[in-house]
Chains A and B, each alone.
Chain A
Amino acid sequence: NAGVTQTPKFQVLKTGQSMTLQCAQDMNHEYMSWYRQDPGMGLRLIHYSVGAGITDQGEVPNGYNVSRSTTEDFPLRLLSAAPSQTSVYFCASSYSGQVGGYTFGSGTRLTVV
């Protein structure tokens, strides 16, 4: 049971480049979400999904795009990377019947130069 798997673990991008952060879970969880963690800011919600084909914006969605075509995968796309998007990104998933209590991936550390 792998839990929540995020790839890559580290990435350096140039300003203006695009990329996709991958997130996959093998627990058949309905709920998935993306957060960014910045020093002194805690974690802030970027986008979330309550099931395949259903996504919505969180607190800081600008510059990011998501889709959810399967229950297992929830990729996060950076359309045109900016230095302000330098951060550590976490994906999390939860089972609807569990009522909260998310399982987190180990994170992707992204640097935009």
Chain B
Amino acid sequence: AQSVTQLDSQVPVFEEAPVELRCNYSSSVSVYLFWYVQYPNQGLQLLLKYLSGSTLVKGINGFEAEFNKSQTSFHLRKPSVHISDTAEYFCAVSGLVGGGADGLTFGKGTHLIIQP
């Protein structure tokens, strides 16, 4: 069984400031890791994913995340946020077996609020 903990339910940040959204996971097996973004009244969109290899993963819209196996973390970062980054961000995992065929386990989400 897997679980995902997003440590902050809400993160307010000023425009052009850096941001880090925290994600920790628990699993008895190796996992794939994902970050998704949900803009108001829309479905989810994949930001980035970690499958293997380099622990620093770059995604769309200037976001990046770093996989830390010893700390079971996959924190999302952006060096300078924009008003348009206001959204709900979800961290998710899937087991290696089956390549994610059995769906994703999501965290409860972090609402990123960009203040002008």
Q: How far is the CB of A3 from chain B (nearest CB, A)?
A: 9
Write out the residue numbers on chain A whose beta carbons fall within 8 Å of the beta carbon of B98.
Answer: 50
Using a Cβ–Cβ cut-off of 8 Å, how many residues does chain B contribute to the interface with A?
A: 27
Q: Select one of A31, A42, A100, A105 contacting B108, CB under 8 A.
A: A42
**Which residues of A6-49 are within 8 A (CB) of B?**
30-31, 33, 35, 40-45, 48
Q: How far is the CB of B88 from chain A (nearest CB, A)?
A: 9
Write out the residue numbers on chain A whose beta carbons fall within 8 Å of the beta carbon of B34.
Answer: 100-101
Task: Let me know if B49 and A42 touch, CB within 8 A.
Answer: no
CB within 8 Å for A100 and B43 given contacts A45-B105, A50-B101: no
Write out the residue numbers on chain A whose beta carbons fall within 8 Å of the beta carbon of B49.
Answer: 100-101
Using A42-B4, A100-B32 as known contacts, list a sample of 6 further A-B pairs with CB atoms less than 8 Å apart, ordered by residue number in A.
A42-B106, A100-B99, A100-B100, A101-B46, A104-B36, A104-B45
Using a CB–CB cutoff of 8 Å, the interface residues on chain A facing chain B are: 4, 30-31, 33, 35, 40-45, 48, 50, 56, 58-59, 90, 92, 94, 96, 99-107
Q: List 9 A-B contacts (CB under 8 A).
A: A42-B4, A56-B102, A100-B32, A100-B94, A100-B100, A101-B46, A102-B100, A102-B104, A106-B42
Q: Which 10 A-B pairs have the closest CB atoms?
A: A100-B100, A104-B43, A42-B108, A42-B106, A33-B103, A104-B44, A45-B103, A43-B106, A48-B103, A50-B101
